Structure 1
């Protein structure tokens, strides 16, 4: 049974640690800064799990997305990893994750001494595992004496930047329900779909409301990454009530509360006033444009990558360029990460950080790295009709194409 813990190959375990969420690379929205500054003088501690204003805003956020939510079924924490850690501790048992998956999912299980088993994911299907592979994995884990209880998945995915089709999601949710699994749906990237009118995105909570907990990290579409805040929406009923209570117990033990200024900014953003929605729409358009250019450059050089549908990143497979990379001393994902980091001057986390095999030459590329080196350069990208014609993005894209085209020519 293949677990998500990488092995050996001369690299220390710390280097397999979580990779940060792809940043948007843009200046912070001024209205968010004002909301945060207005709360900076408040000294009182807010309750674990979030104060009323934040929970009400979260309930409204989900209601506008078709998920009726009561504030008492929501919990807030300083970042999605702390919520997933609390959920994993509360549910007990073994954890199942798709392969590849977000880098921060499996460490929660490892920290608690729980196995995290990876399940194959169809190409271009977000972070939703193949239903037949899921059933086979559950059967094997149980046959080996394991106790699978939790499946973590995402419809709009990091690292692959793809969105799972509703048909596959429905089959996987049904398979998980049949095996008695609880689902945690990571919807961090739900509001970053590039073509919202042409992409059908359904939440697992719409299909299996009594067994799905939705988690969203607000760094995906609402807050800067350095302002940690995340939300969990628990299912209705006795099972959801009990899980909510256990999660709050874990968060209390960790003293995992959101800083009051960040909570105020989060509540403002979740109410979705005009400045927030306008910035989000502009940001999604910008990253969709950059992601398409990244995809064209990577595929044009002979590498493989699913067309990006959400987020601000691209997941590339440089396997077809292996001969050229081998000649340069690059034989695995960690060496590829180091190589591209040095050649491009950007962070390029390898696929081993997302549960893929170390030997696979996969890497996640971030759109933000092409936008500019200063706030002024990056802000200009938001308003320019063709941001890739601006000096810094144009130069960065030319540099990236040069590196990839050189690998293609060497491979030939």
Structure 2
């Protein structure tokens, strides 16, 4: 039996508790927490009559729009390098399935990577992230990890990176990405770079895609779930490397897709084409979202820092990955010695939902967890629009109250 994704399971648990009347501060789910832009909804409505099956990779219009979107971001792309699907998660699975070899992952990393690798029957080889940022294996540890894995009978030929990162909310800098790419190239590895959060980098200049450094070995995945807050619409894309090898890879992925998802729904492709063309309404909406995520995430980071937790400063998206190791003596007095026990305690005693670091591959005895700030923007659509348009969103009563509640809980734990 395949267990449910830890993130989805926690979200369902919290929603059930809320439905039963419990007051839960939801920091456990990576949903962008913002309303649908009306212009994108209109594009979806205009495509509502598009009920025919499309090519597996997507319509020419949608793929060309996605190619232009990527090209504007420094990744010169043609439409035949783009595959659209119902969510980037499906495309990640397909890429891992059709590529040869076992998979190297940064630790911690998104919960679905090792789950997918296991479903496919491959080995996941974890390498700790560097101190500065997550999303990549520490280049000082990567080479020896590859040697050890081969001695243990593994065949590490795929490397997954997440830039910007989930769960740490950080961005690996140019030097770190370059060093990892050099090692991957020397060992003949294919990189899959998950860039779903790239448009939510607080400083776009900080974003360095491995596809610009190692274009012939790098696959890029992304979508509209985070930047446009369209998680439930399931619009994902994959960019294959240029050249013959990329074309052959696209054929293998679309072959798998033809038997699993057939195609991205036609109305969703119409909405995707509109969004990828980036009219002013879309670019302004993403910019406002990025500002909101940055202000609230940085405010939450300050709460953790004041309480004494160790935590990397957020650089993108809406995640923090605090380490409550300084709290260990006080937590041990409560019988809390693992990240899972800590997450359970926060939920049961304080009504605060977070996702334990163990679910991201972290060591069982750590006291780390992921906190997502994006569901603090409001319980209603009107509140979320107000947060999106506010110059000082952390002063809004519902957001400031949530931050105060988090501060009080941390103070009582120390």
1:42-62 Cα offsets, whole Å, 9 max, x none, are 221122121111101110001
Query: Are 2:88 and 1:85 equivalent residues in the alignment?
Result: no
Q: Which runs of 5+ in 1 are unaligned?
A: 1-11
The alpha-carbon deviation at position 317 of structure 1 amounts to 0.9
Q: Which residue of 2 aligns with 1:399?
A: 405
CA distance in 2, matches of 1:75, 1:373: 35
Q: Distance in 2 between matches of 1:183 and 1:218?
A: 21
1:51-106 per-position Cα deviation (integer Å, ceiling 9, x unaligned): 11110111000110111101011111111121111111111211111011112212
Partner of 1:8: none
Name the counterpart of 2:78.
Answer: 70
Please give the alpha-carbon distance, in whole angstroms, between the structure 2 residues aligned to 1:59 and 1:310. Answer: 23
1:168 aligns with 2:139: no
TM-score calculated relative to the size of structure 2:
0.91
1:314 aligns to 2:320 (yes or no): yes
Secondary structure at the counterpart of residue 373 of structure 1: coil
Residues 325, 331 of structure 1: 8 Å contact kept: yes
Query: Secondary structure of 1:56's partner?
Result: helix
Q: Is residue 335 of structure 1 aligned with residue 341 of structure 2?
A: yes
Structure 1 length-normalised TM: 0.92
Q: 1:212 aligns with which of 215, 218, 233?
A: 218
Given the alignment of the two structures, is residue 159 of structure 1 paired with residue 167 of structure 2, yes or no? yes
Matched, 1:189 2:197: yes
Give the Cα separation in 2 of the matches to 1:256 and 1:328: 51
Alignment pair present for 1:260 and 2:249 = no
2:138 pairs with 130, 134, 142, which one? 130
Which of 220, 243, 251 aligns to 1:245? It is 251
Counterparts of residues 10-409 of structure 1 (less than 5 Å): 14=3, 17=6, 22-196=30-204, 199-408=205-414
Number of corresponding residues? 395
Unaligned runs of 5+ in 2: 12-28
Deviation at 1:127, TM superposition (A): 0.5
Deviation at 1:237, TM superposition (A): 1.6
> Counterpart of 2:370 in 1: which secondary structure?
strand
Q: 139-148 vs 62-71, which deviates more?
A: 139-148
Post-superposition offset of 1:272: 0.7
Aligned to 1:7: none
Check whether the contact 1:288–1:312 (CA below 8 A) recurs between aligned residues.
yes
Contact between 1:59 and 1:69, CA under 8 Å: does it hold in 2?
yes
1:16 deviates by 6.4
Q: How far 1:220 moved relative to its partner?
A: 2.1
CA contact (8 A) 1:222 1:270 kept: no
Indicate the SS of the match to 1:76: strand
Q: Which range moved further: 382-391 or 159-168?
A: 382-391
Distance of 1:95 and 1:342 partners within structure 2: 36
Deviations 1:242-267 (A, max 9, x none): 11111111111212421222221111
Q: Answer whether contact 1:160 1:308 (CA < 8 A) is retained.
A: yes
SS at match of 2:371: strand
Work out which structure has the larger RCO, using CA pairs closer than 8 Å and 6 or more positions apart in sequence: 2
